Structure 1
Amino acid sequence: MKFERRDILLIVGLLLFMVGLLPFMAPIYAALVVIAMYFGIKIYVGRRKKSIEMDVGEGLCAECGSKIFNKRCPHCDSQNE
């Protein structure tokens, strides 16, 4: 989990969420909830990004949208031959 520029927006949003939780619970519990949400979101996004990278592979064909293997599209190249 590396820190990216968009994490600043996540942190600001979670801090505002924590301020909204303060009337309903103690500050330490609100902070714990926000910290758990931060790491939960980071883990979810990391796993999702990894699964998308595995699905895409080397890239997608611009014509048919299938996965590219060995720098060639299996569908479009077989039709051209």
Structure 2
Amino acid sequence: MNFERRDIILIVGLVFFMLGLSPFVGIAVATIIVIVMYFGIKFYVANRKKAIEKDVGEGICAECGSSILDKKCPNCDSVGE
């Protein structure tokens, strides 16, 4: 979970959410909720990014869109043989 430039937008949005939530639950509880939300979102994005990288593998075939394995498309290259 590295800090990236787009995390600034996430932090600003969560601060605004905290300010909107604070009249209802108090500033301490709102801060805890926002901190949990920040790490929850970061964890979800990291897991999703890993899943996408695993699914893509070596690349994607331009013809059918399936994952390329051993520098060959399992669908397109088997049809041509």
Separation (CA, whole Å) in 1 of partners of 2:29 and 2:62: 50
Report the counterpart of residue 52 of structure 1 in structure 2.
52
CA deviation string 1:1-60 (max 9, x = no partner): 001111111000000000001111221111000000000000011111111111111111
One-letter identity of the residue aligned with 1:56: V
Separation (CA, whole Å) in 2 of partners of 1:74 and 1:25: 55
Q: Which runs of 4+ in 1 moved over 2 A?
A: none
CA deviation string 1:58-81 (max 9, x = no partner): 111010111101111121112222
- Gaps in structure 2 of 5+ consecutive residues: none
Count of matched residue positions in the alignment of Structure 1 and Structure 2: 81
Report the counterpart of residue 19 of structure 1 in structure 2.
19
Separation (CA, whole Å) in 2 of partners of 1:75 and 1:46: 30
- Any residues of structure 2 matched to 1:1-81 within 5 Å, and which? 1-81=1-81
One-letter identity of the residue aligned with 1:71: K
Separation (CA, whole Å) in 1 of partners of 2:48 and 2:73: 25
TM-score normalised by structure 2 residue count:
0.94
One-letter identity of the residue aligned with 1:18: M
Separation (CA, whole Å) in 1 of partners of 2:34 and 2:12: 11
- Gaps in structure 1 of 5+ consecutive residues: none
Query: What RMSD, in angstroms, separates the aligned Cα atoms of the two structures?
Result: 0.9
Percent identity between the two aligned chains: 65
